[in-house]
Chains A and B, each alone.
Chain A
Amino acid sequence: MSGLIIGLVAALILVILFMLFRIQALITIAKGGDRPVGTSNKVNGALMLIVPIVLLALVAWYSPIAARNFLPEASSVHGVVTDNLFWVTITVISLMFLITNAGLFWFAYKYQYKEGRQASFFHDNTRLEVFWTIVPAVIMALLVFFGWKAWSDITSEPPKEAMVVEIMGKQFAWQVRYPGVDKQLGSYDFRLIDDVAGNEFGIDFEDKKAEDDFLAREMYLPKGQPVLFKIRARDVLHSVFAPHFRLKMDAVPGMPTQFHFVPTKTTEEMRSQLNNPQFDYEIACTEVCGRGHFAMKFKIVVVEPEEYRKWYAEQPTFLEQNPQFKGKGLSDLRKKNLAKRNAEQMKEQASL
């Protein structure tokens, strides 16, 4: 890599030297009329072949190296489908790219200026044009069809048995809530959020469903079972990106979103497949959200279902850890606000 960089710098220096000569020449240039098409045209013509070929060689050399650093095969059911579609599409567009660029540069080279040659007055050919309108249209149609199928599956209604996890984005962290044994998340309201007291989700504990909810520092998921992410944000836009699951969905304040998928490989399996004992699944944020946007990491641990059940059963509920919130919710807040307003009014009246 550093060799390449040195090469680049050397090339630039050469060019600068050449420029200095040019400037010399420029100063002595007389005013003149038309100049004949000269050797420069031949040089440029030759470069029309040389440069693209060299660049292509670089791509051919580097692509396999780069591919080592690509994300490994997807760890979700739909991810395998989209990965396949991706590589098929890449193949198709690479062909298009090669054929058209080859035509472009080859013609540029081949038909460079030659003394006495007459260019052809060829400017219309309905058949050709119909042909190259239809070919891309057909290719597009096919790609659209497969893309549409994959998309429809991914965005279909989540299966009933999907286990629900709530992910909430805030500046600058993800927070995760699990429904307890009732498998249902308790309701929430942003006005109940209180970082100081400790209710960062704004959970409404008047809702009985909230009583067994628990928060998690790491997200455990069972392998092979459908999971439904319920996604929201409480300050600005964020976006849940779990690259290995080929999963991305914006987190929008005021508009909950969701994404469902089936993880297919446990963290352990990935570790041995990648030969990397440190491997972990991660969630990143992909919607710019401020200073800490680049560091909103959350860890996902995919385990076998039995292990998952064990972990699940061990988690203490939020209320067990924060008993002061028991029964506190919206109507409680309303009461408090009312009391505050009354007090204010009293004060006002007293001061009158």
Chain B
Amino acid sequence: MATEFNLTTHVEVDHQHDHDHEHHEEGFIRKYIFSEDHKMIAKQFLFTGLLWAFLGGAMSVIFRLQLGFPDLELGFLKPILGSWIDETNKLDPNYYLALVTMHGTIMVFFVLTAGLSGTFSNFLIPLQIGARDMASGFMNMLSFWFFFAASLVMFASLFLETGPAMGGWVVYPPLSALPEAVPGSGSGMTYWLISMALFIISTLLGGINYITTVINMRTKGMSFSRLPLTIWAFFLTAIIGLLSFPVLFAAALLLIFDRSFGTSFYLSDIYIGGEALHHQGGSAILYQHLFWFLGHPEVYIVLLPALGITSEIIATNSRKPIFGYRAMIGSMIGIAILSFIVWAHHMFVTGMNPFLGSIFMFLTLIIAVPSAVKAFNYITTLWRGNIIFTPAMLFSIGLVSVFISGGVTGIVLGNNALDIQLHDTYFVVAHFHIVMGSASFFGFMAGVYHWFPKMFGRMMDAKLGYIHFWLTFIGIYLVFFPMHYIGIAGFPRRYYSFTSFQAFNTFADLNMFISVAAILTFTAQAIFAFNFVWSIFRGRKAPLNPWNANTLEWTTPRLPGHGNWPGKIPHVYRWAYDYSKPNADKDGFTDFIPQHIPLSQTPHSNLEYENELMQKQNVTDDLKVNE
């Protein structure tokens, strides 16, 4: 590995030869399964992530059936769900909780962490910074296979006699620690913990790689101040993950101890199943602090990559530089730092010290400021652009919309006086599905549509993409916006049915509406599935630079081989956003000047500081030659 590395980075001239050679040796297994090529690993993450997305979505359809049509006989689901449907043809309440728990875990961790960040960090980091591959292809491969193992374990837990974990995706103890409390806290919870431990290892292996690669392997001229915002986003995401996931690991480990070895980290004063347990002195709240120390940054772990992808796509398709490049980086750094000191806003009503509650409210509302700046910058990027609505662009615009719509309700929830009433109601479900679920999902889709040509060398069908977008966009608003109403009316989340309470026996028709909308929205994703699979095999052959974009990945061949560039790695001379630069036509360019074009080729369109830079560079180059 080490020698191959040297070859690829330093002796670039001979590379072509090298590589052809290598290709012949690469068998099927090394190429498609235990591949160390970042592009193949990215596709592995993509396929696994998409499969999980469909499974997670299908689960939500099942529990939406329960919520929207409480009287519906679900016997027809028996072939799939088996004993989860009881003798009266109803979904068993325990398995309702199991579905909700699995849905949340899958969506947050497997789809939007591994699927989104795993796919695009892997695919784009080397391609956009001008590197042959990740710093360590081997660790990168391990990262995927740990994720895959985590997937298998989680999937297997669905088939356990006592069912998978049922404590919600946050798996708070004591519920998650005591098999007496709910059947899913037996082996289901053990599987959950093992799966998450594997998942965390995967994330750390990936993250270390992303960070190292971005720091060390940028091509000549690719300074941090010229990095595309995608890379900034992946880079910061990896740092957040590296700092926060170990804390979840610790939390999980202590939970394992409590469950299996009789310790009392989280447990105290418990009487259950007719017996007082021996545990004393533990704190259930400690777990929540540890969990949310990851849990809140996790929100940004799924969101930042989507925002990075959006920045790139909006600039490209507005044919305009991103507005406020530096402010975008600044606000991402701000968000990354602040994301570590707001976690306890999930715990305002846990009995935590009220003074601490006040502090966390202040910090939480501060984080709204950099987020607002980002939204404004996106909008201003559209202003006076020349917008081409590719499917990716549509999803990016959709992302900005949902990012705003979901973001503003965060201002309500971050206010602890208001959170008293709204905590753990459907208002929260609405909020995080819009700002985290939908926004990240849109970023994911935008990325797939935009980089599909580079991944598979073919185009996805645009018209199907438009239909997919509009149905999804309308769909998610119809599903999640009404949940605000239900939440304001006080409906608690993770409820199997609302019939027991006078206060919550309204809105039956709205719940039905949401369920129908959810089923239709889910069904509409079939359009995407078809388009995706069809285009891999039958799509129109992709041109080299289908979107006329500036970043380096579009300088590779249609289907880049291992090593990405057959010849030398291009050098970089400018930022990624020279779109519609004045006077570019005089230099022979249309409305974009890619990053690898030297300033010396664009004398007319260079800005003043660029001319100065060029002169300085010439001088240093001369010096180098003289040496």
Residues of A within 8 A of B (CB): 1, 4-5, 8-9, 12, 15, 18-19, 22, 26, 29-34, 37, 40-41, 43-45, 47-48, 51-52, 55, 59, 62-63, 66, 69-71, 79, 81-82, 85-86, 89-90, 92-94, 96-97, 100-101, 103-105, 107-108, 111-114, 117-125, 128-129, 132-133, 136-137, 140, 143-144, 146-148, 150-152, 154-155, 171, 190-191, 193, 195-196, 202, 231, 234-237, 239, 241, 243-244, 246-250, 252-258, 278-280, 282, 284-295, 297
Q: How far is the CB of A274 from the nearest CB of chain B, in Å?
A: 10
Contacting pair A22 B461 (CB below 8 A): yes
- Bound-state Cα–Cα, A118 to B585, Å: 11
User: In this complex, what residue of A is CB-closest to B272?
Assistant: A235
Q: B382: which A residues are within 8 A, CB to CB? A: 104, 107-108, 111
Complex CA distance for A152 and B355, rounded to whole angstroms: 8
Option from B268, B397, B502, B513 in Cβ contact (under 8 Å) with A1: B513
Q: Are the C-beta atoms of A112 and B389 separated by less than 8 Å? A: yes
Q: What string of 1s and 0s marks CB contacts (under 8 Å) between B323-359 and chain A?
A: 1111100000000000000000000011100100110
> In the complex the two chains form, is A34's CB within 8 Å of B546's CB?
yes
Tell me how far the C-beta of A129 lies from the nearest C-beta in chain B, rounded to whole angstroms: 5
In the bound complex, how far is the Cα of B495 from the Cα of A147, in angstroms?
29
A345–chain B nearest beta-carbon distance, Å: 19
- Tell whether B271 is near chain A: CB-to-CB under 8 Å: yes
| Chain B proximity of A49: nearest CB distance (Å) | 12
Q: How many angstroms between the C-alpha atoms of A149 and B36 in the bound complex?
A: 56
For chain B, give the interface size range: 35 or more
B581 at the interface (CB under 8 A from A): yes
B520/A44 in contact, CB under 8 A: no
Q: How far is the CB of A106 from chain B (nearest CB, A)?
A: 9
> What separation, in Å, do the CA atoms of A43 and B145 have in the docked complex?
44
- Of B148-156, B533-541, B563-571, the stretch lying at the interface with chain A is B533-541
Q: Measured between C-beta atoms, what is the minimum distance from A343 to chain B in Å?
A: 19
Once bound together, how far apart are the Cα atoms of A71 and B504, in whole Å? 9
Rounded to whole Å, the gap between the CB of A115 and the closest CB of chain B is 9
Q: Which of A22, A45, A146 has the most CB of B within 10 A?
A: A22
Contacts of B509 in A (CB 8 A): 1
Which among A96, A252, A279, A297 has the greatest number of chain B C-beta atoms within 10 A?
Answer: A252
- Report how many A-B pairs have Cβ atoms within 8 Å: 379
Task: Report yes or no: A293 in contact with B417, Cβ–Cβ below 8 A.
Answer: no
A254 pairs with B324, CB closer than 8 A: no
Give complex CA distance A117, B494 in Å.
Answer: 52
Q: Once the chains bind, are B182 and A5 in contact (CB under 8 Å)?
A: no
Interface locus among B45-53, B209-217, B293-301, B407-415: B407-415
CA distance A7 to B507 in the complex (A): 20
Query: B578: nearest residue on chain A (CB-CB)?
Result: A121
Residue of B326, B380, B418 touching A82 (CB-CB under 8 A): B418
What is the bound-complex CA distance between A352 and B388, given in angstroms?
Answer: 90
B380-421, CB < 8 A from A: 380, 382-389, 394, 397, 400-401, 404-405, 408-409, 411-412, 415-418, 420-421
* Chain A positions within 8 Å of B471 at CB level: 12, 15
A291, B93: Cβ atoms closer than 8 Å: yes
Q: Would A19 and B373 be within 8 Å (CB), given that A71-B503, A82-B421, A248-B349 are in contact? A: no
Stretch at the interface among B8-16, B229-237, B361-369, B616-624: B361-369
Given contacts A133-B373, A190-B271, contact A124 B323 (CB under 8 A): yes
Q: Are A89 and B373 in contact (CB under 8 A)?
A: no
Contact among B94, B323, B384, B466 for A40, CB-based, below 8 A: B466
Do residues A285 and B492 form an inter-chain contact, with CB atoms below 8 A? yes
A70 to B490, CA, bound (A): 8
Assembly CA distance A48 to B152 (angstroms): 42
B167 contacts which chain A residues (CB < 8 A)?
Answer: 288
A141 to chain B, nearest CB (A): 8
- Are B323 and A255 neighbours in the complex by a CB distance under 8 Å? no
Whether B580 and A120, one on each chain, are in contact in the complex, defined by CB atoms closer than 8 angstroms, is yes
Inter-chain contacts of B350 with A (CB < 8 A) = 250, 252, 257
Q: Besides A119-B580, A151-B361, A190-B276, 4 other CB < 8 A contacts?
A: A31-B541, A97-B404, A239-B349, A285-B492
Q: By the criterion CB–CB under 8 Å, are B379 and A103 in contact?
A: yes
In the bound complex, what is the Cα–Cα distance between A132 and B372 (angstroms)? Answer: 8
Q: Name A69's contact: one of B281, B464, B506, B530 (CB within 8 Å).
A: B506
